[in-house]
Structure 1
Amino acid sequence: MKKQKLVLIGNGMAGVRCMEEILTICPDGFDMTIFGSEPHVNYNRILLSTVLQGGTTLEEITLNDRNWYERHQIKLFTGETVVKIDTVKQVVITDKSQEISYDRLIIATGSVPFLPSIPGADKKGVTAFRTIEDCQTIMATAKHFRKAAVIGGGLLGLEAARGLLNLGMDVSVVHIGSYLLERQLDHTAARMVQVDLENQGMKFLFEKHTQEITGDNRAEGLVFKDGTMIDTDLVVMAAGVRPNVQLARESGIETNRAILVNDFLQTSAENVYAVGECVEHRGRVYGLVKPLYEQGKIAAKHICGIGDQGYKGSVLSTQLKISGIEVFSAGKFHEDSLSKSIKLYDEVNRIYKKLVFQDHKLIGAVLFGDTRERTRLLDMIASQQEVSDQEKMALLQSARETSYSVAAMPHSELVCNCNGVTKGAIVEAVQQKGLTTVDQVKKCTKASGSCGGCKSVVTELVSYLKSDECTEISKKKSMCPCTSLTEDEVVQELLQLGITTFIEAIEKLNWNTNNGCSICRPAINYYLGMIYPENGREQGIDRIITCIEEYNCQCDKQRSLKLAAAFKKGLEFLAMPCLLKLGVSTCMHNGAGSTIKDIGVIGTGLGWEIYAGGSSGRLIQAGELLAVVPTDKEAVQIIRGLIQYYRESAHYQEQIGQWLERMGLIHVREVLFDQELRQELLERLDEELSVGKGEEL
């Protein structure tokens, strides 16, 4: 089969990540070409600040070297800019008069620095802070000059200023606003950041509008509109960025603030996609790395013909990376008439927490000094779960009031939010591949490879895993002695090769045995039954697997019986990865019995609490709170959606608690609380029941 031609415009983080996803899904599906305006391979632009700060070299921020492009047979043209897209002929034209045709095109032109129209901005000693060349210019200037001024008090400006301090310069930050980081922090947290940075030697000038950059041939000072001025030898423009949409606009592709895309990252032009900072989705433009990577995954799936719900937008969060300062924010952290906040301000230990609620749901948070709850808070914001008053107060506890260590982290907890890397993934990589350094972990898992905010946790985790104190064991293993493939790898091969029978599977997947074994035979038949539901009976996988136990008391027995009957309807004969035990309790009087089931439901005054992942076996374990829902109808939908998602993504014989730990509670909640995703799960469940797999016999 002839490969399709795939062209990427932009050799930056978002575009190349999209290509990496495509290579994972369809490794042999495309003839790939990448154009990059900069004369470099793909590098981590976010970590340029750490280069200035002296903690990283330019070589260390390279994400993919030339060997990577060659290994994947990608044609890379660096220092070459695409100047026109002919969307009718499906051709791109470069500034070197090269014409390349495409079947699919991805635009990932990123953003460009916003350079205020200030007289004197063309003088020597005035630079932006966006590229490797900018970084090299700043470092060279610092060797010969003393004073620097950074225009812009946002994230980029502060990171540049911290780097200039490390280079030995006298640094002043000029900001048009009344306090720092107004897009990322509230006034209190911003003031605390300012104090810490002032203690490090940084100076700040607020509410200053630069009128002119003085000097003959090179910068010598700044004059402000209020008549004040300062001397400087270097001016770094860090007043923000703007989406780079000129190419798309001139090529007739619809734009607003950025390139307009739908939920599958398709532009208005046929066969043309766009991802990254140059994209506007549902009226929003994202500049943080996690949303851009999420866009890349969705675009990759669509380009490869894989069904997906599409991109629904992202909950924004920020973790400040300036040395020695722990700051985090997420969601809508400024109060308004509809929201209220609770705060903790520990002036002695310099800890500040602000949680913003609307209708008892967390919608925003700001943390200073103690950010260890950031993953949990992100989860609560994304899932929109009800938060009790007791939980609210627990979230405000100081880090000094509770112990915390990487050893206590569950395997499902996210370590690297940008790349979605859990503790379990790092444990697996370290123990299965013999990794010993943070850099090796970064290359293998991408943890700490984007914004760098999780590097300290990764460092601590690697040290722990290599110490005598570690008793954790990686859970990755082959499906059975017949093969070296893991269960995930087997399922991927079944899908990609279109395998429909067990005999075909062991032949095409190079099994070590002719007939398989008691482990792989039922497992593969189960997976084939899930892939091809219409063949389920022929595969012989119909088994009674659900076991419902209702716990009732004097409160309202009929209430729990009614709910149990509703969510177990038709499930008794439905194929499952593992025996599934469910419990329903009308109230908390007998709730403990339900919390230790695979799925447990307890009635409350607010509706129903739904737990998942409990165990009533030899090692009794309570499940984790999955959701609190007000109505019977929503409880039934959540439970049946959970069961279907478990069926579709669990390993054979994997208990639901093990599955939750592997998938991550946050991820499962995101799926179930997305109404469209949940509806699709329910529709697929009903389809299987309708063809007889789950009919009552």
Structure 2
Amino acid sequence: MTTNPNAPLVICGHGMVAQRLIEHLVANGHPFSKIVVFNGEPVSAYNRIQLSSLLANEVTETDLELKPAQWFSQHQVEVHNHEPVTRIDIEQSQVVTAQGRVQPYSKLVLATGSSPSALGLSGEDLDGVRMFRNLADTRAMIEKAGHHQRALVIGGGFLGLEAAEGLRARGMAVTVLHRSHHVLNRQLDRTSGDVLKALLEQRGLNVLTGYSPKALLGKKQVRAVQLHDDTVLATDLVVIATGITPNTKLAVEAGLLCDRGICVDPQMRTSSPSIYALGECSQFGSQTFGLVEPGFHQAQVLAEHLCLQADTQGFTPVEIPTRLKISGIPIYSCGRVEPGPDTETIQWRDGPKHRYGRLLIERNRVVGALLLGDTTNGAWYTDLIRSAQDISDYRNAIAFGKPYCEAAA
């Protein structure tokens, strides 16, 4: 394998995690001659989390910008937008881009992210069928909302509900189709899911749970969705929000070890010593990552490693809480969602204020926390889950929160 120690660090992809890596490298005084970024999107890294706010007309595209153009030139970071890497030549330590550019690297980082999972339905290629994943998707949905009245969102996870709420805020009549018997089934239990559904319906969304799409109907433009019971719902826009798949094609074709994602070690190193991967395209052990928070942790670990810091700590996954605000309703979920045979459950509910909480406890340790409406104690419950702390001294008061329990202990 040919190596060139004077070649730059090359990064494939420029999402939020890649940008956080670059910022850590700059802050730590990285040893590279420069950093070269190849980005498949037409614009540099932006705040993808805010796309739902952009769709709801709460922020502008300018608000999504993470760093201005001059920041990159100031720190010798060369960004090539709309120019993804199409091939990695490990033997020559170089990449080839969609424009035919050949770029040598001393180290290579794959931050290729993930792609929305297709449903494999007839009609998915019709005009008016969109995923909700990037700025281009959001722009297209905003354009549709300006000229059409009806939308149907397939998927009642957090991305689907955010898309539905954004389109509703744009004036569309929106139906959410979710195959599980309650929305946010990966974060909520049946009771809190039903509470959230009722609140969403009060705000004007039509939420159908326990239904699956069978086909998308239309000649060129989508006109309707056929359900599994052959019910047909007319629509002008279909948004598919049913999960993601890590982008591993580039790594697989290069011969890197991949499973569901690109396999990495605690330093984010792939099966090739000079190539690293992080974020949604990576896999550590059996775990892949769909949230930005573990990606930010990976970015810090990798930056310290690349900057040759002696006390670098490797990446270790921890329980990551899901913090959401759907239609202004705060939600916090961490740890286990489903109880086991030895699980004790503590529940509380305030109907008039739309508040609900549930803790799962095993052997006097919190293993799952779920909060809707009032998430004040979410971070504390997460700490208890991560530390596996014995709660015997304040178990009977734990629903009242940390200050009360500290007083009771």
Paired AA for residue 322 in structure 1: I
> Are residue 183 (structure 1) and residue 186 (structure 2) matched?
yes
> Are residue 314 (structure 1) and residue 318 (structure 2) matched?
yes
After TM superposition, list the pairs within 5 Å mapping 1:119-138 onto structure 2: 119-138=122-141
Q: Is the 8 A contact 1:3 1:28 kept in 2?
A: no
TM-score of the aligned structures, taking structure 1 as reference length: 0.56
After TM superposition, list the pairs within 5 Å mapping 1:488-567 onto structure 2: none
Give the structure 2 partner of residue 279 of structure 1. Answer: 282
> Are residue 201 (structure 1) and residue 204 (structure 2) matched?
yes
Q: Is the 8 A contact 2:366 2:384 kept in 1?
A: yes
* Structure 1: distance between partners of 2:172 and 2:266: 46
Give the structure 2 partner of residue 377 of structure 1. Answer: 381
Deviation larger for 109-118 or 2-11: 2-11
Residues 304-357 of structure 1 deviation map (CA, whole Å, 9 limit, x = unaligned):
111323111121211112232011000113210232221112223322111111
* Structure 1: distance between partners of 2:338 and 2:372: 15
2:326 alignment partner, SS class:
coil
* Structure 2: distance between partners of 1:83 and 1:398: 52
Paired AA for residue 334 in structure 1: E
Paired AA for residue 94 in structure 1: T
Distance 1:139 1:45, change over 3 A: same
Q: Is the 8 A contact 1:329 1:367 kept in 2?
A: yes
CA positional deviation for 1:115: 1.5
Give the structure 1 partner of residue 346 of structure 2. Answer: 342
* Structure 2: distance between partners of 1:117 and 1:301: 42
> Are residue 250 (structure 1) and residue 258 (structure 2) matched?
no
Higher helix share: 1
Give the structure 1 partner of residue 10 of structure 2. Answer: 7
1:142 alignment partner, SS class:
helix
Give the structure 2 partner of residue 219 of structure 1. Answer: 222
Q: Is the 8 A contact 2:349 2:357 kept in 1?
A: yes
1:277 alignment partner, SS class:
helix
Identify the match of residue 45 of structure 1 among 20, 45, 48.
Answer: 48
* Structure 1: distance between partners of 2:302 and 2:30: 15
CA positional deviation for 1:27: 4.5
> Are residue 299 (structure 1) and residue 288 (structure 2) matched?
no
* Structure 2: distance between partners of 1:250 and 1:3: 26
Identify the match of residue 22 of structure 1 among 25, 31, 36.
Answer: 25
CA positional deviation for 1:389: 4.8
Identify the match of residue 159 of structure 1 among 149, 158, 162.
Answer: 162
Give the structure 2 partner of residue 326 of structure 1. Answer: 330
* Structure 2: distance between partners of 1:301 and 1:27: 9
CA positional deviation for 1:26: 1.8
Q: Is the 8 A contact 1:357 1:364 kept in 2?
A: yes
Q: Is the 8 A contact 1:41 1:65 kept in 2?
A: no
Identify the match of residue 108 of structure 2 among 105, 108, 113.
Answer: 105
* Structure 2: distance between partners of 1:345 and 1:389: 23
CA positional deviation for 1:299: 0.9
CA positional deviation for 1:28: 5.4
* Structure 2: distance between partners of 1:77 and 1:353: 47
* Structure 1: distance between partners of 2:393 and 2:200: 35
1:190 alignment partner, SS class:
helix
Give the structure 1 partner of residue 372 of structure 2. Answer: 368
Give the structure 1 partner of residue 238 of structure 2. Answer: 235
CA positional deviation for 1:397: 2.3
Paired AA for residue 36 in structure 2: T
Q: Is the 8 A contact 1:333 1:355 kept in 2?
A: no
RMSD of aligned Cα (Å): 1.9
* Structure 2: distance between partners of 1:93 and 1:118: 34
Paired AA for residue 298 in structure 1: V
* Structure 2: distance between partners of 1:53 and 1:115: 24
Q: Is the 8 A contact 1:151 1:157 kept in 2?
A: yes
Q: Is the 8 A contact 2:186 2:337 kept in 1?
A: no
* Structure 2: distance between partners of 1:389 and 1:338: 20
CA positional deviation for 1:187: 1.1
2:147 alignment partner, SS class:
coil
> Are residue 356 (structure 1) and residue 377 (structure 2) matched?
no
Paired AA for residue 293 in structure 1: F
Identify the match of residue 147 of structure 2 among 123, 144, 147.
Answer: 144
Q: Is the 8 A contact 2:319 2:334 kept in 1?
A: yes
CA positional deviation for 1:395: 3.1
Paired AA for residue 34 in structure 2: D
Q: Is the 8 A contact 2:9 2:32 kept in 1?
A: no
Q: Is the 8 A contact 2:178 2:209 kept in 1?
A: yes
Q: Is the 8 A contact 1:317 1:331 kept in 2?
A: yes
* Structure 2: distance between partners of 1:297 and 1:378: 21
* Structure 1: distance between partners of 2:398 and 2:352: 19
Give the structure 2 partner of residue 31 of structure 1. Answer: 34
Distance 1:346 1:330, change over 3 A: same
* Structure 2: distance between partners of 1:34 and 1:65: 15
CA positional deviation for 1:88: 1.8
Residues 82-131 of structure 1 deviation map (CA, whole Å, 9 limit, x = unaligned):
01111121101111111111111110000001121111111111111111
* Structure 2: distance between partners of 1:35 and 1:94: 8
1:315 alignment partner, SS class:
coil
CA positional deviation for 1:68: 1.5
Q: Is the 8 A contact 1:214 1:220 kept in 2?
A: yes
Give the structure 2 partner of residue 386 of structure 1. Answer: 390
Paired AA for residue 43 in structure 1: Y
Residues 563-611 of structure 1 deviation map (CA, whole Å, 9 limit, x = unaligned):
xxxxxxxxxxxxxxxxxxxxxxxxxxxxxxxxxxxxxxxxxxxxxxxxx
* Structure 2: distance between partners of 1:32 and 1:3: 12
CA positional deviation for 1:3: 5.5
1:14 alignment partner, SS class:
helix
Residues 236-257 of structure 1 deviation map (CA, whole Å, 9 limit, x = unaligned):
1111111011111111010000
Q: Is the 8 A contact 2:298 2:315 kept in 1?
A: yes
* Structure 1: distance between partners of 2:305 and 2:342: 38
Distance 1:264 1:274, change over 3 A: same
* Structure 2: distance between partners of 1:348 and 1:147: 32
Q: Is the 8 A contact 2:6 2:106 kept in 1?
A: no
* Structure 1: distance between partners of 2:373 and 2:393: 23
CA positional deviation for 1:398: 8.0
Paired AA for residue 294 in structure 1: H
Q: How many residues align?
A: 402
Unaligned runs of 5+ in 2: none
* Structure 2: distance between partners of 1:106 and 1:64: 20
* Structure 2: distance between partners of 1:64 and 1:264: 26
* Structure 1: distance between partners of 2:88 and 2:374: 49
1:64 alignment partner, SS class:
coil
Paired AA for residue 230 in structure 1: L
> Are residue 89 (structure 1) and residue 87 (structure 2) matched?
no
Greater RCO (Cα-Cα under 8 Å, separation 6 or more): 2
Q: Is the 8 A contact 1:9 1:106 kept in 2?
A: yes
Runs of 4+ residues over 6 Å off in structure 1: none
* Structure 1: distance between partners of 2:323 and 2:115: 22
* Structure 2: distance between partners of 1:329 and 1:94: 41
Residues 41-84 of structure 1 deviation map (CA, whole Å, 9 limit, x = unaligned):
11011110010112111110111221111111111100001011
* Structure 2: distance between partners of 1:75 and 1:103: 15
* Structure 1: distance between partners of 2:33 and 2:49: 29
Distance 1:149 1:354, change over 3 A: same
